Amino acid sequence: MPGGKRGPELISVIGLIVLLVMVFGGFAFTGGNLGVVMHALPHEMLIIGGAAAGATIISTDIKGMKAIGGAFGAIVKGPKYKRADYGAAIFLTTRLMKMLKSEGAVAVEPHIEDPATSSIFAEYPQFLKDPVFLHLLTDSIRLLVVSTGGLSPNAVEEVIDTAIETHHAHAHKPVEALTTLADGLPALGIVAAVLGVIKTMGSIDKPPAILGGMIGSALVGTFLGVLLSYGIVGPCAARLKAVIDMDSEIYLVVRRVIIASLRGQPQPLVIEAARTAIQPANQPSFTEVFDGLRGK
């Protein structure tokens, strides 16, 4: 099965462009003066953006800030695992479980103890870059190796489920931070607008034309807060959650292969149980999986 990856998924960038063109273009098309908005934009963005950054720093730590920064790359690129990778995950996990069953712990130990030097893992380099995948797979098999007696499949399944849930909860931290930020942006927009009104009231002796421009600039703050919240940050949080959820599906492939193998199911059923659990967009065909396994 080919292992090539598709190019970056730029659908989010396209959506952002459409959003901005329709909002600002629609405003100009209906006779609005973009000059007033553009004049106030830098000042209002400074207040709202600065306040948003400060609030985020208060609510998280350095690791959290780095995770939020890295999240935007995931939003643009989309899921890191593509269709071919799901087949590769089935192949890799199946081979290791088959080796453990047929050749014993001595044969499989070198591969799970040092995947970087393993001839088997070398065929699947995409997984060497994912420590979560590596630890889930190797630690689960290591648990089977060090156990002196037979392990209950249900007990092993519980351990694997806990590992996946722990990772999932941690991976969603940037989503929670972005969602919180989106919830607060309209209020920060109001803060910027109120400051603009205060500034206007301090110039109440100015001509109506000038006061109108100042009030219009103040209202840009409210507009920006709402636009950033519901048009950009909120959708980014939803997109990031979808990306994380899609990439987490590959860990379920490992889980299904290991548990089905422990339950003594025939290998074709083990493989099919893992394959059919993959969402249709990434699910390799029956022929692709079984033809690929014949050469392993």
Contacts of residue 93, defined as CB under 8 A and 6 or more positions apart, other chains included, come to 137, 253, 254, 257, 258, 274
Nearest Cα residue to 93 out of 141, 135, 164, 163: 141
21-31 residue pLDDT tens = 999 999 999 98
Terminal-residue alpha carbon distance, the chain: 12
Q: For residue range 213-237, list pLDDT tens digits in order.
A: 888 888 999 999 999 999 999 999 9
Q: What is the pLDDT of residue 217?
A: 86
H/E stretch holding 287: helix 286-294
Contact (CB, 8 A) for 159 and 147 = no
Q: Which of 233, 88, 115, 86 is nearest to 174 (CA)?
A: 233
| Tens-binned pLDDT, residue by residue, of the chain (296 aa) | 334 444 446 788 889 899 999 999 999 999 888 888 898 899 999 999 999 999 999 988 888 888 888 888 888 888 889 888 999 999 999 999 999 988 888 899 999 999 999 999 999 999 999 999 999 999 999 998 887 667 788 889 999 999 999 999 999 999 999 999 999 999 999 999 999 889 888 888 888 888 888 888 889 999 999 999 999 999 999 999 999 999 999 999 999 999 999 888 888 888 888 888 888 888 888 788 877 666 55
Exposure of 249 by Cβ count < 10 A (0-12 exposed, 13-18 middle, 19+ buried)? middle
**Which residues make Cβ contacts (< 8 Å) with residue 92, sequence separation at least 6?**
120, 121, 123, 124, 127, 137
